Amino acid sequence: MAHTKKGPLGSGAAPRQACEMSAVTPLNCLLTALPDARRQGKGYRANCPNGHSKAKGSLSFVECADGAVLMHCFACGDTLGVLRTLGLTLADLYPRHLQTCHSRRSLRERRLHYRAVAWSSALTVAAYEASVVLSAAAAIAEGIRLSHEELLRVSVAAERLEDARGVMRG
C-alpha cells in the first residue's frame, strides 16, 4: 500500500516506516496517520478510516501511562481493520519497551487499564447519546413531530447506546 501522509514525522513518511523509528511514540504514530484527530477529554477522536457510513468521530484512542495506545471504533469495532487501513499493526500501539514485557502482572494491569478506558469512553458516548434521546422525548412530550432526519439521529443514538452497552459488558 503506497500510503503516505505528511505530518510531525517528516514529509511523506509512510506510517509503518515512521512507527518503526525508535523515537516515535505510538500516539504520535497514530496522530500522524489520522490527520483529522482532535483532542477529546483525556484522549482523541477521529473519523474511522475504514470507510463505513458512521465513521465520523467514531474512532476513539487514548495514551496509557506506559505509552501504549488503546483504540476503539464505536461504529465498526474493527481495530485490526482500522490498523490495516492505516498500514499499521497492533505492535505499533505499544512502545518498543513493552513489546517484550509479558509478565502476568503487567498483562493484568494493562487489561484492567484497557477496561477502565473502554468504560470511560463508553460512558462518555452513552451520556451524549442519552441527551439526544432525551431531547427527542421532550419534543414528543410537547406534541412536536420529529422530522425524518431527527428520527434517523435518534436511531443512530440508540445504536451507539447499544454499542456502549456492549463495551461495558466486556
Identify which of 82, 76, 67 has the alpha carbon closest to the alpha carbon of residue 15: 82
For residue range 5-19, what is the model confidence (pLDDT) as tens digits? 333 333 333 444 445
- Judged by DSSP in three states, 36 sits in coil
**pTM of the full structure:** 0.48
- Terminal-to-terminal C-alpha distance of the chain: 33
For residue range 89-111, what is the model confidence (pLDDT) as tens digits? 888 888 876 455 556 667 777 78
DSSP code of 160? H
35 close to 3: Cβ distance less than 8 angstroms: no
Q: Where are the beta strands (DSSP E) in the chain?
A: 38-40, 43-46, 59-63, 69-73
CATH number for region 1-101: 3.90.580
27 close to 113: Cβ distance less than 8 angstroms: no
Q: What is the mean pLDDT of residues 121-135?
A: 92
What ranges do the domains of the chain cover? 1-101, 102-170
Which residue is listed with cell 442519552? 130
